[in-house]
Structure 1
Amino acid sequence: MEARVSLKEIRTDKASKDKTSYKPVGAVISGLSILRYLGNRNTPVGVSQIARDVGINASTCYNILKTFLAEEVVSFNSETKRYALGLGLLDLAQPIISANNDLQLIQPRMKQVATEFTIMVSLWRRTDNEQMSLLAKADSDAAVRIHLSPGQRLSMWLGAMGRCMLAYSDLTESEFRSRFETLRWGEVPNFRKFMREARDVRTLGYAMDENSQVKGVTTLAVPVFQEEQDQPQLCLVATMFSGQHTVDEIGRLVTAMKDVSDVASRMTFK
């Protein structure tokens, strides 16, 4: 029987987002409806049938298709007067395709480390509002293990990851203190010690957090730099139960995590 310890509760007091109402743009909705319709068709379709099946005005449909054609999002056969999806969609989708390919390449390496050390290994990307978003994770096969939810977001200042991000931040000490005091900790760490450990990241290449992010949980983080970045946008994190590993094992884990980080630094995840 599998038991999981969830880290879902780890967030800042400001982590929840306001749900802002908005007014849908009709032309955008119609355009997306046309693309979905063409994507579900096995053969090209004329403008009249598209307008009828999608349920929009024929003139509007024609103008949207002409715009899409100019952008190569759809293709047009001048002999049959019919439309189909265009190769321009591949250009739009390529960043997502590349990101998925990169994730498929990095996850086996993450899984190898997770299995060898019976931990969870996760890759996080910086987003807006000083948060980190879970990009990928690999679990061990242990019956009791720590769990993270897909797409989960955390403050970029929490735990070992927070120390790594702070190490390369432009924030002054007083600016960071104001953020530090709003974070929701398992055990509030000593501020001076936290700052010192953040500075050490530049020398050591990693950071550790024991119990302050969540009681009973230790995290080890390694920053991931890409394309001569001065500040990392990615961070690789190992999450384990406190006291689970010896000092020698932690040393081997640091080496393994840095190896994965080196591989990830050559990928885009865009």
Structure 2
Amino acid sequence: MSTNIKSVERALDILLYLNRHEEPVGISQISKDLGIYKSTVFRTLQTLESQHFVEQDKSSGKYGLGVIYISMANKINKYEFYRPFAVRLHAEFNESVNVSILDVSSVDVYRSVIVLKEDSKSNILSVSPKIGSIMDCYCSSVGKCLLAFSPGISERTLKNYKFIKYTVNTISDVPALLAEMKKVREQGYAMDNEEQEIGLTCVGVPILNKKGEAVAAISVSGPTQRLRNHEIKLIVQQLKQTSADISGLL
């Protein structure tokens, strides 16, 4: 007698099905190909999307694999392209280097997701998020870069944020965030100036495609005093050079 749980089996069937397709697929096509009722496909996708195993293309309404599925077991080949550049930055500063992409949650809130990380066991931070970790954009350097340089960012969507005041430096309203985004666009980099935790600083820059749109962002983070010892200007310079090197290959 089978002990399979039907709902789990359907979810896995859908994930495996999406894995076989390069482009997002609509509910009707999934239902037809897998022989599952549309209503069941819809409910299953909603559950998977809530945990970021799948994501919906907002323009077409179709579904593809989400960042959590992609990053499981560190099998994120799509983002391994960034690895040599992250390794180079880590070797230069011996600080944590993260590559993140923009995620729009099911409730239409912009967040950043870490898809690649280069770190040292000897430099463990009190805040050291893992691959697949999701963070609010308003208080992270990569998040600010993604907001400032991604197309279609909506002020209405930004108003969905429930701003959490992690420290006295944390941005806490939309006007301040919009002003910060303008500043980031002008200077080409962003700072998390102890905005998530006192004593922790992060510097990030966007990685741009040929249209000048952010496809990702890369950052160097560490204890504030250590980053100041490296000189923030030098970190910004090297991050911008790294971003330019990556963009030149896209």
- Taking the TM superposition and a 5 Å limit, the aligned residue runs for 1:2-17 are none
Alpha-carbon spacing, 1:131–1:190, altered in 2? closer, same or farther (3 Å):
closer
Give the letter aligned to residue 159 of structure 1. Answer: S
Alpha-carbon spacing, 1:175–1:245, altered in 2? closer, same or farther (3 Å):
same
Q: Out of 148, 153, 171, which is 1:167 matched to? A: 148
Question: Does the Cα contact within 8 Å between 1:102 and 1:267 map onto a contact in 2?
Answer: no
- CA–CA distance in 2 between the matches of 1:100 and 1:190? 36
Q: Which moved more, 1:115-124 or 1:158-167?
A: 158-167
Percent identity of paired positions between Structure 1 and Structure 2: 19
Alpha-carbon spacing, 1:175–1:236, altered in 2? closer, same or farther (3 Å):
same
Q: Out of 199, 213, 221, which is 2:196 matched to? A: 213
- CA–CA distance in 2 between the matches of 1:214 and 1:223? 22
Aligned partner of residue 227 in structure 2, secondary structure: coil
Give the letter aligned to residue 186 of structure 1. Answer: Y
For 1:240, the equivalent position in structure 2 comes to 222
Q: If you compute each CA radius of gyration, which structure gives the higher value, 1 or 2? A: 1
For 1:134, the equivalent position in structure 2 comes to 114
For 1:184, the equivalent position in structure 2 comes to 164
- CA–CA distance in 2 between the matches of 1:165 and 1:195? 13
Question: Does the Cα contact within 8 Å between 1:225 and 1:265 map onto a contact in 2?
Answer: yes
Task: Quote the offset at 1:205 in angstroms.
Answer: 0.7
Count of equivalent residues = 179
Q: Which moved more, 1:135-144 or 1:249-258?
A: 135-144
Give the letter aligned to residue 132 of structure 2. Answer: G
Give the letter aligned to residue 211 of structure 1. Answer: E
Task: Quote the offset at 1:246 in angstroms.
Answer: 3.1
Alpha-carbon spacing, 1:22–1:118, altered in 2? closer, same or farther (3 Å):
same
Task: Quote the offset at 1:266 in angstroms.
Answer: 4.5
Question: Does the Cα contact within 8 Å between 2:97 and 2:119 map onto a contact in 1?
Answer: yes
Alpha-carbon spacing, 1:185–1:114, altered in 2? closer, same or farther (3 Å):
farther
Q: Is 2:121 aligned against 1:121?
A: no
Aligned partner of residue 116 in structure 1, secondary structure: helix
The root-mean-square deviation of aligned C-alpha atoms, in Å, is 3.6
TM-score for the superposition, normalised by structure 1: 0.54
Task: Quote the offset at 1:170 in angstroms.
Answer: 3.3
Could you list the runs of 5+ residues in structure 2 that have no partner in the other structure?
1-5, 21-33, 35-69, 71-75
- CA–CA distance in 1 between the matches of 2:136 and 2:171? 15
Question: Does the Cα contact within 8 Å between 1:158 and 1:183 map onto a contact in 2?
Answer: no
Task: Quote the offset at 1:221 in angstroms.
Answer: 1.2
Task: Quote the offset at 1:121 in angstroms.
Answer: 0.8
Question: Does the Cα contact within 8 Å between 1:118 and 1:142 map onto a contact in 2?
Answer: no
Deviations 1:30-69 (A, max 9, x none): x98xx9xxxxxxxxxxxxxxxxxxxxxxxxxxxx9xxxxx
Could you list the runs of 5+ residues in structure 1 that have no partner in the other structure?
1-20, 36-63, 65-95
Q: Out of 121, 125, 128, which is 1:147 matched to? A: 128
- CA–CA distance in 2 between the matches of 1:118 and 1:204? 25
For 2:48, the equivalent position in structure 1 comes to none
- Taking the TM superposition and a 5 Å limit, the aligned residue runs for 1:76-87 are none
Q: Is 2:87 aligned against 1:111?
A: yes
Question: Does the Cα contact within 8 Å between 1:132 and 1:156 map onto a contact in 2?
Answer: yes
TM-score for the superposition, normalised by structure 2: 0.58
- CA–CA distance in 1 between the matches of 2:88 and 2:121? 11
Task: Quote the offset at 1:217 in angstroms.
Answer: 1.1
- CA–CA distance in 1 between the matches of 2:77 and 2:142? 23
Alpha-carbon spacing, 1:175–1:108, altered in 2? closer, same or farther (3 Å):
closer
Question: Does the Cα contact within 8 Å between 1:111 and 1:140 map onto a contact in 2?
Answer: no
